[in-house]
Structure 1
């Protein structure tokens, strides 16, 4: 599993898409492998708060990683 430092570094290789007070999303345009399942993921969603509500527009598989600061990293697979 990837460390938090690696996750923060990974974001620099992804394309930023949306950001608000609660979340930030990044598109995987370079086919980076998911640190959980090792398949290429579609989007990384970073939850900035302990409690965050997400509205997903379609059905997808999710892999998750949590760091020490309570941020949740969601890796989406369509």
Structure 2
């Protein structure tokens, strides 16, 4: 299927037919990347509670540093 690029400010956009949106399961937010010269658009996977917890747990794994505790104490 062909589509024309339309000007949107300094960028360009495309109109994606409803049938393609439904088939690709695209909603309000998409991930775009270029692979081997092709623009690939894919749905964004919603973050689950487990994913958010894993990210938080990893971010806090190095918290036990004395300089951070001292800096935090000065803020309180």
Superposition TM-score, scaled by structure 1 size: 0.28
Q: Which structure shows the higher helix fraction?
A: 2
Q: Which has the higher contact order (CA 8 A, sep 6+)?
A: 1
Q: Which structure shows the higher strand fraction?
A: 1
Superposition TM-score, scaled by structure 2 size: 0.29
| Structure showing greater Rg | 2
